[in-house]
Amino acid sequence: MKSKLWTKNYTLCFIGTILSALGGIGLNVAMSVLVFKETQSTALSGMFAAISMIPNFVLPVFMGSFIDRRHPLKVLVCNEVALGAFFMIVSFLVTQLPFNYLFYLVITLCISTFGVISELAYQSVTPHIMDRKMYPKGNAALSTIYPMAQIVMTPIALFLFNQFGVALIFLFYGFTCWLDASLESRIRFEYELPEKVKENRVKQHISDIKDGFFYLKDHKAISSVFIYFFVTMMVYGLNVLYYPYFTQTAGFGDANYSLLLSINGLGYLLGGFFHYFVQIPHNRRFQVTVIVYLIFNLLEGTFFAMPLIIMFATKLLLGMLGMNTANIRTSALQAYVPNKMRAKVNAMYSVMVSIGTIIGQALAGWMAEFMPYIQVSLILGGLGMIAVIVFIMPPKNKVKEFLNFNYTEDVKEVVVEEATQAI
């Protein structure tokens, strides 16, 4: 029987994700601009971005276990409803109070907390609304949403922020959360809940967290990829310097900063479309991934030495390449990791990349206070290069076997199912 991607469930999820992305992109842009404009400090901006990520490495190890023992769709819908209500309240509060660094920090910490729950639940839902053979194409289509939203919302968000302030963006995001929840509540799929255990919940969560760690310990390829992304997100922490650099460099400014983000989004969009229509041969996925990782760290490391037009071209290229490797990694994880472990493993990934992001953003903001931006990017880009050589390329880490595994063939599906059931 031929597999079908655009089912009712997948379509509802796709539209709901669009609504969520439109609000989320707009809010992220507005918050980063607001903090730097009010503080005029790269260190404070970097610290703000870093601290806002704390829930992303504290909560996943607990929430992964929580979600694995519940229907992930119900968790996702309830969380979106609560998040919408939170944004409505915050929209009113920010109109009544002047800017306060700590107040906005508390707001963004709350947003990050809701975001962790949504992301883990979402990652557990998506494999159930697609056939295994449709993972590459389905993930490619979903991955085009956020770059498309970035293209559309970045200039709109900057315009709305400059004209009306951040309150309107909070209000808009609240409505999109409720619309998203309304659509996703109509998704239907069977989900087998694990048997309830008699031990108390604290011991249960500790046991589940240990299971996640042991799973990574026993699967060298996955743990190597996760460690690499810990370092990669340190390099990606350089993005906290983009807005300060553009506002402090003659001839750049807000308009070009907005254009840079939109072009980067366009690159991801084009990359998503490419992966939707063109499937990279399974025996070439590792080779493509290594080349992209090396290019990413080279270009990010030299980014602040580039002329403006080359910056635009670089972000377009990195978006196109990055989307394809992200799709390869995501599809491999979805096919390989069993249902009962998926949220726990995704939680481990979320924790590691969040810690890397926090360190990278704080470090980049701090270093930029006393050294040129190009030196900061060269240091972090160099670390990324080392990470590719140490964690991704060595045969002993088995990353090649993991990424090149042909999980789309029926005979391989049986092998995967039998292997995951035995874990």
Q: What pLDDT shows up at residue 393? A: 92
- Cα 167 from Cα 93, distance rounded (Å): 8
Q: What pLDDT shows up at residue 48? A: 83
**Domain residue spans in the chain?**
8-187+202-422
Q: What residues contact residue 382 under an 8 Å CB cut-off, 6+ apart? A: 297, 301
Residue tagged 């008699």 (tokens): 198
Q: What pLDDT shows up at residue 81? A: 93
Task: Dig out the tokens for 150 from the structure.
Answer: 């970035």
CATH number of 8-187+202-422: 1.10.260.40, 1.20.1250.20, 3.40.309.10, 2.120.10.30? Answer: 1.20.1250.20
Q: What residues contact residue 275 under an 8 Å CB cut-off, 6+ apart? A: 136, 137, 140, 143, 323, 324, 327
Q: What pLDDT shows up at residue 189? A: 80
- Sign of CA pseudo-dihedral 386, 362, 262, 179: positive
CA-based end-to-end distance of the chain: 29
Q: What pLDDT shows up at residue 421? A: 36
pTM over the 0.95 mark: no
Q: What pLDDT shows up at residue 423? A: 33
Mean pLDDT, each 10-residue run in order, the chain (423 residues): 75 88 78 83 81 76 70 87 92 88 89 84 82 77 78 80 84 89 86 57 63 77 88 86 87 85 83 77 85 92 93 91 79 73 74 83 87 92 93 90 68 38 34
Q: What is the pLDDT of residues 231-260, one digit of tens each?
A: 988 898 888 888 889 988 888 888 888 888
